[in-house]
Amino acid sequence: MSNRILFLFAAAALVWPAAAQVKADPGPETTGVEMKIHPGDPTTIDVIIDGQLFTAFFVSGLGVTKPFLHPLRAPSATYVTRMWPMKEVEEEAAIAKPDHPHQRGLWFAHEKVNGLDFWNNEATYTTPNRGKIVLAKLDGVSGGKDRGVIAATFDWTDLAGHKLLTESRRMTFYADPKLRVIDFDITLTAAADAVTFGDAKDGAFGVRMRPVLQETGGTGHITNADGLAGERQLWGKPSNWCDYSGTVNGEKVGIAILDHPDNPRHPVRWHARGYGLFAANPFALAAFTGDKTKDGSLTIAPGQSVRFRYRVIIHEGDANDAAIATQWDKYSAGK
């Protein structure tokens, strides 16, 4: 069977049916694939690769204060991101006090945007300076033999709905028998006023690892492109890529994030923690170095834009097994 990605989606006008199913007509090179639209509360879009659910994109609705992918799965179907707070599973039930409920799957946000916090922004939080990232429209969803695309527009607003930014996002999902690869292309455009991303550690392109894969109390091992290993060595350090890998029930799996060479502040600094957080943060300099004379903030003038691109690779084995250094060479060369 050839690799195939298929997507289900509702109309771009956001008229979501109460329930819907689509059956793909079996072709000569595929088996039949049945997928479901989930238009309820929250609204999600399933991503299915080779007949296997890879992840779901949470775009709007109950509990969705910023869009996120959850969970991410390896080609073996083993999930590699934390389930809580979206779902309670036996493996995580022993954790008496789960931390950071705002760290859901994979997301893009920041804690200091014109004074608003889009990172620590759960709906249950009572802090008044929370922002929210809301779906404006779906721009397109398509599938194909070897790749599929979700394109969407989001508004970054305060709790009253005043818009600071427009986010244009395009995610390309690739089919591969040994890897799960996603390319992210995110453009942020300031609305009526200038927007400043302040120097702060909680940002920006983040993943929360499954507890058994975390460095502290788990099997996890964090490495970067420069050979540094573990939180103590690589936290806050710039590098082309960073990888977080470990073992689940005897299976070695991991996630790598690659920073595009044209991104602002490349190579990005890494907010990678032993407790399972793993994030590329281009907006922190003083926060990471402790040098208050330095400033990692970035300002976008009204109507102007800034673009960020990342590649995420969910792989078997560790960074060496998955040849992440070679994967970086391909990505940086535009392949």
Q: Where are the domains of the chain?
A: 100-332
Average pLDDT over residues 61-77: 95
Report whether pLDDT(29) > 80: no
Note the pLDDT tens digit of each residue in 201-235. Answer: 999 999 999 999 999 999 999 999 999 999 999 99
Report whether pLDDT(34) > 50: no
Residue 14 pLDDT: 39
The pLDDT confidence band at residue 38, using thresholds 50, 70 and 90, is low
Bridge-based pairing state of the strands 251-259 and 241-248: antiparallel
Task: From residue 174, give the alpha-carbon distance in Å to each of 118, 135, 221.
Answer: 29, 24, 25
Could you give the count of Cα atoms lying within 13 Å of 118 in the half-sphere of its Cβ? Answer: 29
Report whether pLDDT(120) > 90: yes
Task: From residue 34, give the alpha-carbon distance in Å to each of 30, 69, 71, 142.
Answer: 12, 20, 19, 16
Which residues fall within 8 angstroms of residue 184, CB to CB, at 6 or more apart? 108, 169, 170, 171, 205, 308, 309, 310, 311, 312
Report whether pLDDT(57) > 80: yes
Determine phi and psi for 199, rounding to 5 degrees: -70, 110
**CA end-to-end span of the chain:** 24
Residue 335 pLDDT: 87
Nearest to 190 by CA among 99, 292, 306, 308: 306
Pairwise CA distance, residues 291 & 187, whole Å:
29
71-85, 136-150, 289-303, range with the lowest pLDDT? 136-150
- Location of structure tokens 């929210």: 132
Note the pLDDT tens digit of each residue in 133-159. Answer: 999 998 888 888 788 889 999 999 999
CATH topology of domain 100-332: Beta-galactosidase; Chain A, domain 5 (2.70.98)
pTM of the model: 0.91
Q: Give the DSSP H/E element, type plus range, for residue 236.
A: none
Residue 192 pLDDT: 92
Computed over every residue of the chain, the mean pLDDT equals 88
Could you give the count of Cα atoms lying within 13 Å of 155 in the half-sphere of its Cβ? Answer: 14
Task: From residue 153, give the alpha-carbon distance in Å to each of 85, 199, 207.
Answer: 25, 25, 21
Residue 22 pLDDT: 27
Pairwise CA distance, residues 168 & 11, whole Å:
18
